[in-house]
Amino acid sequence: MAGIANLRVTKNDDAGLGMNPIVLTPTSTVWDATNMRWAVTCTAPSFSQFRLHSVNPGNTPLSVQYKEFTVNKQASSDLVKWTTLTETNNSHFNVQRSNDGYTFETLGSMNTKAVNGISALDLNYSFLDESPMTGHNYYRLEQVDIDNKTIMSEVIDIVWGTNGSIVSIYPNPASTNLNIDLTTSQIAQTEIKLLDMSGRVVKSVLVQTQKGLNHIAIELDDLASGVYGIQVVENNKLTHVSKISKN
């Protein structure tokens, strides 16, 4: 149930989860019927990281304090990584994914590395999602206690092939790096060409793409500011043409 009596906001230093936590009580909670969401207001001592969560009677310490939780694209997969600062009574973690941010499925489980579920040392975990979906991939961790109580982590959104397109190029404008997501039907020798406005190829990257989703990152530090054409060539066949701006 939403409401001031049931909600709290925890402020953490920018260093990350669990760093100097301050628990804040909301001053108001208002349901936004147009956008189908709750608007929560609270007074904060300074700007930093904030997390909305259910009330914790007696400020009972969490079973797990996270130091880091990240998801990074690989060639055709998503690498989920997390580090815990402390663990108490911890059993395991469920790695969960959603395409809408509301309905999650469990992709796999990782048992705690803490002896008897208790640790005061940094512990590192990782999980590889080998079949991310085209579009949004929302990831979260479900931490499960030995007594079967659960706590959810923050949610991280990774996008493959924005709006279901075959080729997604971002950001645009770009500054230091350009990302290209390709959805292909077969293994291919794929070349990404960047051309200046005279049609001269100023950068070329050749990779072997796999069937399904692929992620290619191109560094732009050595290019001058301006507008560039992009060509995607698969097995010597031109499959995509577009433009990007370099800041």
Q: How far is CA 15 from the centre of its chain?
A: 17
The amino acid occupying position 78 is: D
pLDDT in tens, 129-144: 999 988 889 999 999 9
- CATH numbers and ranges of domains, the chain: 4-59 (no CATH), 64-160 (2.60.40.10), 165-246 (2.60.40.1930)
% of the chain beyond a pLDDT of 70: 84
Hey, CA dihedral for 49, 1, 95, 56, is it positive or negative? Answer: positive
Q: Which of 73-77, 102-106, 123-127 has the lowest mean pLDDT?
A: 73-77
R_g of the chain computed on alpha carbons? 22
For residue 19, what pLDDT is reported?
Answer: 58
Burial bucket for residue 102 (CB in 10 Å: 0-12, 13-18, 19+): exposed
pLDDT of 1 over the 60 cut: no
d(CA 88, CA 128): 25
pLDDT band with cut points at 50, 70 and 90 for residue 164: low
Q: Which of 14-23, 67-76, 84-93, 144-153 has the lowest mean pLDDT?
A: 14-23
Average pLDDT of the chain is: 86
Residue owning tokens 């590192």: 124
d(CA 180, CA 44): 39
Question: What predicted TM-score, i.e. pTM, was given to this entire model?
Answer: 0.64
Q: Report, as an integer, the average pLDDT of 174-181.
A: 93
d(CA 17, CA 178): 29
d(CA 163, CA 100): 13
Instruction: Convert 59-92 into a string of H (helix), E (strand) and C (coil).
Output: HCCCCEEEEEEEEEECCCCEEEEEEEEEECCEEE
pLDDT band with cut points at 50, 70 and 90 for residue 10: confident
For residue 229, what pLDDT is reported?
Answer: 95
pLDDT of 245 over the 90 cut: yes
